[in-house]
Chain A
Amino acid sequence: MVSIEIEAFTRVEGNGGAEIIIENGEVKDVRVKIFEGPRFFELLTLGRHYWDVPDLEARICAICYLSHSVASVLGIERALGVEVPEEIMLLRELGLLGELIESHALHLYLLVAPDLFGYADAIRMASRHGEVVKEGLTIKAFGNYIREVIGGREIHGINVKPGGFGRYPTIEELERMERQSEALLKLARRAVGIFADQEYLGAKAEHYVAVNGYLYGDELIADDGEHFDYFQHIEEKTLPYSFAKQSRYKGEVFMVGALPRVMLKHEALTPMAKHLYEEYKEKLSQGYASLNNLAQAIELVYALERTKEIAQNLLDRGIKGENVPVEPREGEGIGYVEAPRGVLLHHYRIDEKGNIAYSNIITPTAFNHAMMELSLYEEAKKRYGSSDEVTFLQKLEETVRAFDPCISCSVHVVRL
């Protein structure tokens, strides 16, 4: 038995690698290893007052901090029986859209595009394809602008709170979002063409899982028509070679992320995004993991269109800026959010004083862990013996990259 190591994935967030096990000249097994250290977030929030918890949970991940704050706030509000008006939900959605724009732009233009153009990174790519890199940075900066306004800071702002917000956006800020989202649509539209040409990599998932709403909701859905709470059909197990746990849906490997979202929820897409979905429907339904990149590009168009819609809507009706009072009481709740890379949930039990008594967090990269391994396995099997080693490893890395893994997030998937 020999094994080939991918020592550390590059152009991904966090520290992870893989081991490909070869036996009798054939690929026998693949293990995705997460060696980002454990961070024990469930222990961190235990006993803390609910008000402070979303700020702490945001620190799980910088790329999707707002998804974590919003999931945390939704879980807490459900536990405490709090209902917020539409205005607050629209603003939260706006924040999630900003995050999706920032995160997808980072992933597509800075992390994936260098593979398609044949460079080690976006900085080297910029010498010949400066316009592509620049367009990506412009879109990403816009996403960050929304995160700053709604979230309170580009990274780890604390503005999203149970019951509402610390600060509400001004008319000028909303007008800027409306204007810029319109202007950037053209660039995002062009990106779809670039990523549509990527070759097929990885495996096809046995199932797709997503949240029932496009970016947030109150339950999960799957491609077999099931509506469910995560603990009903998703099982987790601990691995000896990784700080992340693995999940199965009804015992089978499944995928979360842009591709499952677009496939399961295309009805909810905005006009131009829906049109693009129709155009690439046949390709997307091939189901290979690498098509997640194309789905992300379509979602970039969706997010910009939807941002414009929400900004217009809020400008028309005017911002009231009234928080809902929150009273501590005993309760349990789950917040379901679509982080840019897929389903994210925060599950809490709160005691009568308002302190956290139980918490469980499952992140998209944890959900995708088994699917990442399966994809690497299929890709390695296909290429072993026919590709030279450099190409072999490069293609395996591209396969992992398609999941847009967020490894910092994945290491505290836990049940207490």
Chain B
Amino acid sequence: MMLKLGVFELTDCGGCALNILFLYERLFDLLEFYEIKEFHMASSFREHDTLDVAIVTGSVSTQRDLNLLHYARNHSNYLIALGTCATHGDVQASVEGKIRDKLERVYGTRANPMKALDSTPIVQHVAVDYALPGCPYDKDELYQVLMNLAKGVEPPTKDYPVCVECKLNEYECVLVKRGIPCLGPITLGGCNAACIKCHLGCIGCRGPLPKEANPASEFEILKELGYDEEYIRRKFKTFARGELRW
């Protein structure tokens, strides 16, 4: 029996849907188990049906997004929040202020005919069965999750910081050795420390490490390195405004 899959895009950069296409040949491996019922970036084909798996990317930023999210939730058995917009809100949710103020500053009018909302992650609106963060998420991880689901196995979740993968790759610690602000110690791993490979600090795109992270200690380290508090705060809140409260 083929599983029915739908991909729904709320407001985002398109990267999380695009990253699915970047699976190349392995996308065809997935299609041995899944039939795609909705994926508007890739296909004109659309069939309204109940879905076994719904993938939702992006954050809720308009009334239309919210309606689409509820549609995806109500028509699916298993819903994956894919990417940091969906799981933590990402950059667009980190812009502070009320929606009408923001509209006024950007569009020059407080009118809101298109029903824009304050940007929020989908996990704030519906129950999700699996959350896979990352801006973008690691495509191999998504492949594994979908393969696990196809085989009836509940996919595991990662629970270690970026530092673990950085050490495994034997990269030089940019925070300790070079004093570069790096959010690796408090950010969920799974990216294979891609930015530290470039000798740059982690910017926290996979969101904070649940439970064990120690942002207070990271905050102190950065302060000792001479970064001002406002700078550190904004850096911390860039991808997950709601989670790290300062």
Which residues of A are in contact with B by a Cβ distance under 8 Å?
8-15, 35-44, 47-49, 52, 55-56, 59-63, 65, 106, 110, 114, 120-124, 126, 137, 141, 144, 152-159, 161, 165-167, 238, 240-243, 245, 397, 406, 408, 412, 414, 416
Contacts and interface: CB of A to CB of B under 8 A. Distances in A.
Q: Which 9 A-B pairs have the closest CB atoms?
A: A62-B15, A37-B61, A121-B43, A166-B198, A37-B11, A120-B45, A37-B62, A167-B198, A166-B200
B31 A123 contact: yes
B199 interface: yes
Say whether chain A's binding surface is mostly helix, strand, loop, or mixed. loop
Contacts of B92: 37, 39-41, 44
A21 B36 CA distance: 33
B91 A157 contact: no
* Listed residue (B97, B107, B113, B203) with the most chain A CB atoms within 10 angstroms of its CB: B107
Contacts of B90: 59
Contact of A167 (B21, B42, B45, B197): B197
Contact of A158 (B64, B94, B97, B198): B198
Given A158-B195, A414-B106, A39 B11 contact: yes
14 contacts: A13-B41, A37-B116, A42-B106, A43-B97, A43-B106, A48-B234, A59-B90, A62-B136, A110-B42, A121-B42, A122-B42, A137-B25, A161-B200, A243-B114
Contacts of B10: 37
Nearest to B25: A137
B238 A56 contact: yes
Which of B27, B42, B97, B116 lies at the interface centre, i.e. has the most chain A CB atoms within 10 A of its CB?
B42
Contacts of B198: 152, 157-159, 165-167
A37 B12 CA distance: 8
A95 B97 CA distance: 36
A114 B197 CA distance: 38
Interface in B123-181: 135-136
Contacts of B19: 62, 154-155
Contact of B231 (A13, A40, A49, A65): A49
Contacts of B55: none
Contact of A8 (B24, B31, B40, B135): B40
B188 to A, nearest CB: 16
B74 interface: no
Contact of B199 (A59, A166, A412): A166
Contacts of B119: 37, 39
A59 B194 contact: no
Nearest to A160: B198
Contacts of A126: 28
Nearest to B106: A414
B203 A158 contact: yes
B106 A157 contact: no
B103 interface: yes
Contact of A397 (B44, B94, B95): B44
B103 A123 contact: no
Nearest to B113: A240
Contacts of B235: 52
B102 interface: yes
Contacts of B111: 240
B14 interface: yes
A37 B41 contact: no
A35 B106 contact: no
B64 A13 contact: no
Contacts of B44: 10-11, 114, 120-121, 397
A35 B117 CA distance: 12
Interface string B31-64: 1000010011111111000000000000101101
Contacts of B18: 13, 62-63, 106, 155
Contacts of A397: 44
A182 to B, nearest CB: 21
Contacts of A49: 231
Given A120-B45, A137-B24, A65 B114 contact: no
A156 B199 contact: no
A39 B58 CA distance: 11
B22 A63 contact: no
Given A37-B10, A41-B92, A52-B235, 9 more contacts: A12-B41, A37-B65, A38-B107, A47-B234, A123-B36, A155-B136, A156-B136, A157-B195, A238-B107
Interface centre among B119, B194, B198, by most A CB within 10 Å? Answer: B198
Given A60-B13, A156-B136, A243-B114, A44 B24 contact: no
B211 interface: no
Contacts of A161: 200
Nearest to A124: B45
A41 B92 CA distance: 7
Given A35-B62, A124-B45, A155-B136, A65 B15 contact: yes
B109 interface: yes
B81 interface: no
Contacts of B72: none
Contact of B102 (A40, A121, A137, A238): A40
A144 B234 CA distance: 31
A154 B199 contact: no
Contacts of A37: 10-11, 59, 61-62, 64-65, 92, 116-117, 119
A44 B95 contact: yes
A60 B85 CA distance: 12
A275 B98 CA distance: 55
B91 to A, nearest CB: 5
A156 B135 contact: yes
A152 B114 contact: no
A155 B137 CA distance: 10
Interface in B60-114: 61-62, 64-65, 90-92, 94-95, 97, 102-103, 105-109, 111, 113-114
Contacts of B40: 8-11, 15
